[in-house]
Amino acid sequence: MSKHIIVDPITRIEGHLRIEAVIGDDGVVKDAYSSSGMFRGIEAILKGRDPRDAGLLAMRICGVCTGTHYQRSIEAVEHAFNLKIPKNARIVRNLIQGALYVHDHVVHFYHLHALDWVDITSALKADPAKAAKEALKWSNTPHGAGEGELRAIQERVGKFVAQGRLGIFANAYWGNKHYKLSPEQNLIAVAHYLQALDMQRDMAKMMAIFGGKMPHPQSLVVGGVTCVQDIQNPARIAEFKSILNKSRNFVKNAYMPDVLMAGTVYADEALDGTGAGLKNYMSYGDFRLDDTGFYTSALLFPKGVVLNGDLSTLYPLEQEKITEDVSHSWYTGGGDKGLHPFDGVTNPHYTGMEKKADGNAYIKPNEKYSWIKSPLYDDTRVEVGPLARVVVGLAAKDPNITKYATDFLTELGNTLGLGKAAPASVIFSTVGRTAARAIETNLMADVMMGWVDELAANVAAGDHSTWTEFDFDAVSKDAKGFGMAEAPRGGLGHWVVIKDGKIENYQAVVPSTWNAAPRDYKNRMGAYEAALIGTKVADPEQPLEILRTIHSFDPCIACAVHIVDTKGKELAQFKVGTSCAV
Ligand code: NFE
Ligand code: MG
C-alpha cells in the first residue's frame, strides 16, 4: 500500500517548511506537496513609506541571504529614478554580494546539506592514515586533511559520541543504507564540516568590511554606497583580499574536492536524473561588469530562460512575463492566472488543514495549502538558483561558466573512469544542483580577486566618488522600477510603484518563492514538488532522500513568505513540536 508521509518541519533550512509525499509500494515518490506554515511580512509595511528607506526595511525579509534584499530594493528605487551609480559603488556592491555567495554556499554545503550525504557515525570507523591518502585522490593539495588532523578530529567527535552528546549531530538518519561514502570519505567530510565553521566566520567579515556590519549590512543608499573611508583605506581593501584568498583556497581544496567526491560516489543518482524536477530554468542575470547602466551592462551571470533541459536554446528574459498566482496559496485577489508584481496584491486568506483519522493534520491538496505564492514566467513553472544560473550560462555559451562547469564535468568523467567528460545532462539532478552551487562559488572566488584589484586601482587613480546626487522631489512624483538580479538561491526581484514621494505598491518575488511554491491555477507543480517525483526512498521512516533533494535547493522560507497581515488578525494556530520528522 502506498504511504502518505509528512516531513514537518524540514530541518537544516531557514524557516518553516512542510513536505507531504506519497510513496508507492516500490519506495518511489509518486506525489509531493510543498507547504509553508509560516506567515510574516514586509511588503505591506513598505506602503506609504519614503522610497529611500525601503532598502533598510526590505532587508529584514531575511538575514541569511543578508544584504541581498537591501540591494535589490535600492536598485528598484534607483531604476525608478533612472539613477546611475558610481563605479566604486558598483564594485563594492559586487564585492559584498560576491562574498555572500562564497559564505552562503559554503555554509549551505557543509552545515545544511552535508549530512544528507555524510554519515558522521561512520567516520568514527575510519583509518585516519587511509583517509589522508583518500583525500589526495580528490585534491592535490587537500585542505586540513593530513593524518594527524584527521585523527584529532576523529577523537574529538568520538568523545562526543561516547558521552552521548551528539549535539548538532543528534537525531539524524545515521546508518541509513542510502549513505554511500566510505568511513574514510566520511571522515574527510566531517573534518571539513568542522573547519568550515571557522572559515565561514572569516567569510562573513568580508561582507562587514564594506557593509559596516553583518548580518544586515548598512552601507548602501539610493544612489551609491556610504563606506567612503573603507574604500579609501588600502589596508581595508588588503584585508578583504587576504580573507578572500584564504576562502578561495578553502573552496578549491575542500569544497570542490568534497563535491567531486560526493558527486562520484553518488553518480548513479546524477546519471539517472534523480531530483531533476521541472527542467525549466530562469536566471535574471547578475553582477554588472561595467558602468553602462541598468540592464545594459555586461554580466557575470547571463540572463535568460532554458526550457525542458534543452541547452541549445536560450530564451530572452522579459520581466513583463512574470506573474504570481495564488490558486493554491492562502491568499485571495490574485486574478484568474496571477498578477504582474506591479499590480500584485497580498490578501491573506487561511483555509486550514484537514485532521484525519490517524490524528495528524494534512494539507488539503485540491485547495489552498501554503503561505507561499506561485510565481510563473510566461505561464510556465521554472526553477531558479545556482543550477539555473549554470544552465543559462551554458546555453548562453558564457565563457566563464562554460569553463568552470566543463572543468568539473571533466574531473567527474575522470574519477568515474568514463574516459571523457561526464555528460552535461548529469547536472539535471539533485547531485547536479549541489555541484552547480560549488561550481559558481569557485568561479565567484576567482573573479572577485580581480574586482578587488579593480577597486584598488580605481581609487588609486583618484576616483573617490561613491554617490550620485539626485533631486528627490523631482524624480519621485510618479515613478516605478524594479531591481531584478540574482541572490544566492536564485532570481530575486523587487518591484516598486512610487507616487508623490511615497511608496504606493511594493512586491518582492523571491528565489525560494519560485522554488518552494505550491501548485498553480493549472495544478502544475512547483520546483520542489516536481523534483521529488520519482525519487527512491530506502526507508519511509527515514526520508533521507527527500531531505537531500529539498536541501539541494537551499530553502529559505523567511524569504519566500514575506508578507504581513497589517490588521493583526489571527491567521492560524500552530503547534510546534521538536521531532525532526513525523
Ligand atoms: Ni532568505 Fe534569499 C536568497 C533571497 S531566498 S535566503 O538567496 O532573495 O530564497
Ligand atoms: Mg512577494
Task: Read off the C-alpha cell for 439.
Answer: 561550481
Q: Which stretch of DSSP H or E encloses residue 69?
A: helix 68-81
561 pLDDT above the threshold of 70: yes
Q: Respond yes or no on whether the N-terminal peptide bond of residue 9 is cis (omega within 30° of 0).
A: yes
- Would the pTM of this model clear 0.85, i.e. be above it? yes
pLDDT band at 574 (very low <50, low <70, confident <90, very high): very low
Q: Closest by alpha carbon to 550, among 575, 516, 580, 513?
A: 516
pLDDT band at 562 (very low <50, low <70, confident <90, very high): low
pLDDT band at 563 (very low <50, low <70, confident <90, very high): low
Q: Which of 17, 62, 216 to mutate to test the pocket of ligand 1 (most atoms within 8 A of CB)?
A: 62
Rounded mean pLDDT of 114-124? 93
- Identify the residue with better confidence: 163 or 267: 267
Rounded mean pLDDT of 275-288? 98
Length of the chain: 582
Does ligand 1 come within 6 angstroms of the Cβ of 487? Answer: yes
Contacts with 195 (C-beta within 8 Å, 6 or more apart), sequence order: 143, 144, 250, 254
Rounded mean pLDDT of 300-329? 98
Which pLDDT tens digit goes with each residue over 330-376?
999 888 889 999 999 888 899 999 999 999 999 999 999 999 999 99
Q: Closest by alpha carbon to 258, among 122, 431, 393, 379?
A: 431
* pLDDT, the chain, mean: 93
Atom of ligand 1 nearest to the CA of 62: 1
328 pLDDT above the threshold of 50: yes
Mean pLDDT check: name the lowest of 108-117, 146-155, 168-177, 246-255.
Answer: 168-177
Q: Which pLDDT belongs to residue 254?
A: 98
Rounded mean pLDDT of 42-52? 92
Has 512 been annotated as catalytic? yes
Has 62 been annotated as catalytic? yes
* 3-class secondary structure, 534: coil
Q: Which pLDDT belongs to residue 167?
A: 74
Q: What residues does the ion ligand 2 have nearby, CB within 5 Å? A: 508
Distance 559 CA to ligand 1 centre (A): 5
Q: Which pLDDT belongs to residue 529?
A: 98
Q: Which ligand has its closest atom nearest to the C-alpha of 563?
A: 2
Q: Which pLDDT belongs to residue 185?
A: 98
Q: Which pLDDT belongs to residue 477?
A: 98
Contacts with 221 (C-beta within 8 Å, 6 or more apart), sequence order: 52, 55, 74, 467
75 pLDDT above the threshold of 80: yes
Does ligand 1 come within 6 angstroms of the Cβ of 558? Answer: yes
Task: Read off the C-alpha cell for 103.
Answer: 559564505
Has 580 been annotated as catalytic? no
Q: Which pLDDT belongs to residue 573?
A: 37
16 pLDDT above the threshold of 90: no
pLDDT band at 483 (very low <50, low <70, confident <90, very high): very high
Q: Which pLDDT belongs to residue 560?
A: 81
Distance CA 170, CA 157 (A): 12
192 pLDDT above the threshold of 80: yes
Which pLDDT tens digit goes with each residue over 208-250?
999 999 999 999 999 999 999 999 999 999 999 999 999 999 9
Q: Which ligand has its closest atom nearest to the C-alpha of 334?
A: 2
